[in-house]
Amino acid sequence: MKPYTICLPDAERLIRGWNAPIYAFFVAVPEIEYYSGRRIHVFWCLAKTCQGKGKTPRCVNRFFDKGDASSTSNLRKHAKKCWGDDVVKLADETKDVNLARDIVAKSGMGNAMITTMFERKKSKGVVTYSHTQHTKTETK
């Protein structure tokens, strides 16, 4: 069967329940396809240099008829490949998919510097970091 995109009312109904920050790393409205007669959601990665593997590396499939149909583990695994563990962790700390989506959209690329991706607002101060290795005293 040929893939098609879901219509807007269906998309709004489905997306309402998808509030985990991990969805920020993928296109907001997934496609619905059929694979061997089984319905799947196809999430497209937003990273400019996607690190996915397989026939369609930018896609992450979620089978609709399984008990874990709302699980985000496959999305999380893919996002960590493309964006890095630190960025995914920081997105999870926002606890809001809209805030995380704004941050991801601002950078527009995978494997970006964390300071660029998650800049603090001016009211909270400047983000500082160092590339210098800690001394033995500092690591204790």
Q: For residue 38, is pLDDT > 70? A: yes
Q: Is residue 24 part of a domain?
A: yes
> Considering the domain boundaries, does residue 138 fall inside one?
no
Cβ atoms < 10 Å from Cβ of 78: 25
Residue-by-residue DSSP string for 17-48: T--SGGGGGB-SS-EEEEETTEEEEEEEB--T
- Where in the sequence is the domain holding 78, given as residue range(s)? 4-129
DSSP 8-state assignment for residue 127: -
Give which of 115, 90, 114 is closest to 100, Cα–Cα.
90
Tally the domains of the chain: 1
Residue 137 lies in a domain: no
**Domain-located, residue 54:** yes
- What pLDDT, on a 0 to 100 scale, did the predictor assign at position 1? 41
Whether 20 is covered by a domain: the verdict is: yes
Residue 65 covered by a domain: yes
**Choice between 107 and 73, residue whose per-residue pLDDT is larger:** 73
Does residue 75 belong to any structural domain of this protein?
yes
